[in-house]
Structure 1
Amino acid sequence: MDLTIQEMLQMADIMQKQTTKAMKIESSLIKKIETLSDQELKGFQVKEEYENMWNKAD
Protein backbone atom coordinates (compact mmCIF):
# COMPACT_ATOMS: atom_id res chain seq x y z
CA MET A 1 0.00 0.00 0.00
CA ASP A 2 1.42 3.35 -1.02
CA LEU A 3 0.64 6.51 0.91
CA THR A 4 0.80 9.98 -0.52
CA ILE A 5 2.75 12.67 1.27
CA GLN A 6 -0.56 14.33 2.17
CA GLU A 7 -1.84 11.11 3.76
CA MET A 8 1.40 10.72 5.71
CA LEU A 9 1.11 14.30 6.96
CA GLN A 10 -2.49 13.70 8.02
CA MET A 11 -1.46 10.55 9.86
CA ALA A 12 1.39 12.41 11.58
CA ASP A 13 -1.02 15.14 12.67
CA ILE A 14 -3.44 12.59 14.14
CA MET A 15 -0.62 10.85 16.02
CA GLN A 16 0.68 14.15 17.37
CA LYS A 17 -2.78 15.16 18.62
CA GLN A 18 -3.33 11.79 20.30
CA THR A 19 0.10 11.88 21.93
CA THR A 20 -0.46 15.40 23.23
CA LYS A 21 -3.90 14.46 24.53
CA ALA A 22 -2.49 11.39 26.31
CA MET A 23 0.34 13.39 27.89
CA LYS A 24 -2.08 16.02 29.21
CA ILE A 25 -4.35 13.36 30.68
CA GLU A 26 -1.45 11.50 32.27
CA SER A 27 -0.14 14.73 33.80
CA SER A 28 -3.58 15.46 35.24
CA LEU A 29 -3.80 11.94 36.65
CA ILE A 30 -0.38 12.22 38.28
CA LYS A 31 -1.41 15.48 39.97
CA LYS A 32 -4.64 13.88 41.16
CA ILE A 33 -2.91 10.74 42.45
CA GLU A 34 -0.39 12.83 44.38
CA THR A 35 -3.22 14.41 46.36
CA LEU A 36 -5.01 11.17 47.30
CA SER A 37 -4.72 9.55 50.69
CA ASP A 38 -3.56 5.96 51.03
CA GLN A 39 -7.16 4.85 51.51
CA GLU A 40 -8.31 6.74 48.43
CA LEU A 41 -5.47 5.25 46.40
CA LYS A 42 -6.60 1.74 47.28
CA GLY A 43 -9.97 2.36 45.63
CA PHE A 44 -8.75 4.54 42.78
CA GLN A 45 -9.55 3.05 39.38
CA VAL A 46 -6.89 4.64 37.18
CA LYS A 47 -7.92 2.85 33.97
CA GLU A 48 -11.52 3.97 34.26
CA GLU A 49 -10.45 7.49 35.22
CA TYR A 50 -8.11 7.67 32.22
CA GLU A 51 -10.80 6.45 29.84
CA ASN A 52 -13.32 8.96 31.23
CA MET A 53 -10.84 11.79 30.83
CA TRP A 54 -9.97 10.63 27.29
CA ASN A 55 -13.63 10.57 26.25
CA LYS A 56 -14.32 14.00 27.76
CA ALA A 57 -11.23 15.68 26.25
CA ASP A 58 -11.48 17.83 23.12
Structure 2
Amino acid sequence: MADNKSRKGKQDRNQVSGSENYEIQYFKTKMGVTSQAVVGAIKATGSNDRKTLEEYLKKRHNK
Protein backbone atom coordinates (compact mmCIF):
# COMPACT_ATOMS: atom_id res chain seq x y z
CA MET A 1 0.00 0.00 0.00
CA ALA A 2 1.44 3.37 -0.99
CA ASP A 3 2.03 6.02 1.62
CA ASN A 4 -0.32 8.96 1.12
CA LYS A 5 1.74 11.97 2.23
CA SER A 6 -1.27 14.30 2.08
CA ARG A 7 -2.98 12.28 4.80
CA LYS A 8 -1.52 13.12 8.21
CA GLY A 9 -3.84 11.23 10.54
CA LYS A 10 -3.15 9.06 13.57
CA GLN A 11 -3.51 5.86 11.55
CA ASP A 12 -0.59 6.83 9.31
CA ARG A 13 1.67 7.54 12.29
CA ASN A 14 1.04 4.11 13.77
CA GLN A 15 2.36 2.28 10.72
CA VAL A 16 5.85 1.62 9.37
CA SER A 17 5.73 1.25 5.61
CA GLY A 18 8.22 -1.34 4.38
CA SER A 19 8.19 0.29 0.97
CA GLU A 20 9.13 3.77 2.24
CA ASN A 21 12.87 4.00 2.87
CA TYR A 22 12.61 7.11 5.08
CA GLU A 23 10.20 5.30 7.42
CA ILE A 24 12.53 2.31 7.72
CA GLN A 25 15.50 4.64 8.32
CA TYR A 26 13.68 6.54 11.08
CA PHE A 27 12.45 3.37 12.77
CA LYS A 28 15.84 1.61 12.64
CA THR A 29 17.53 4.62 14.24
CA LYS A 30 14.83 4.82 16.91
CA MET A 31 15.15 1.12 17.73
CA GLY A 32 18.94 0.89 17.32
CA VAL A 33 18.77 -1.95 14.78
CA THR A 34 19.60 -2.45 11.10
CA SER A 35 17.30 -1.83 8.16
CA GLN A 36 17.29 -5.59 7.56
CA ALA A 37 16.02 -6.15 11.09
CA VAL A 38 13.12 -3.75 10.51
CA VAL A 39 12.16 -5.34 7.19
CA GLY A 40 12.56 -8.79 8.76
CA ALA A 41 10.29 -7.80 11.64
CA ILE A 42 7.62 -6.63 9.21
CA LYS A 43 7.81 -9.97 7.39
CA ALA A 44 7.99 -12.08 10.56
CA THR A 45 5.04 -10.42 12.28
CA GLY A 46 2.99 -9.92 9.13
CA SER A 47 2.21 -6.45 10.43
CA ASN A 48 3.44 -2.93 9.93
CA ASP A 49 1.96 -1.69 13.20
CA ARG A 50 4.61 0.34 15.03
CA LYS A 51 3.89 -1.11 18.50
CA THR A 52 3.91 -4.70 17.23
CA LEU A 53 7.25 -4.12 15.53
CA GLU A 54 8.73 -2.44 18.62
CA GLU A 55 7.72 -5.40 20.81
CA TYR A 56 9.09 -7.92 18.32
CA LEU A 57 12.42 -6.12 17.94
CA LYS A 58 12.84 -5.64 21.70
CA LYS A 59 12.35 -9.38 22.26
CA ARG A 60 14.70 -10.36 19.44
CA HIS A 61 17.51 -7.95 20.31
CA ASN A 62 17.49 -8.29 24.09
CA LYS A 63 18.48 -11.97 24.10
Provide TM-score, normalisation by structure 2. 0.28
Higher relative contact order (CA 8 A, sep 6+): 1
Structure with greater helix percent: 1
Whose Rg is larger? 1
State TM-score, norm by structure 1.
Answer: 0.30
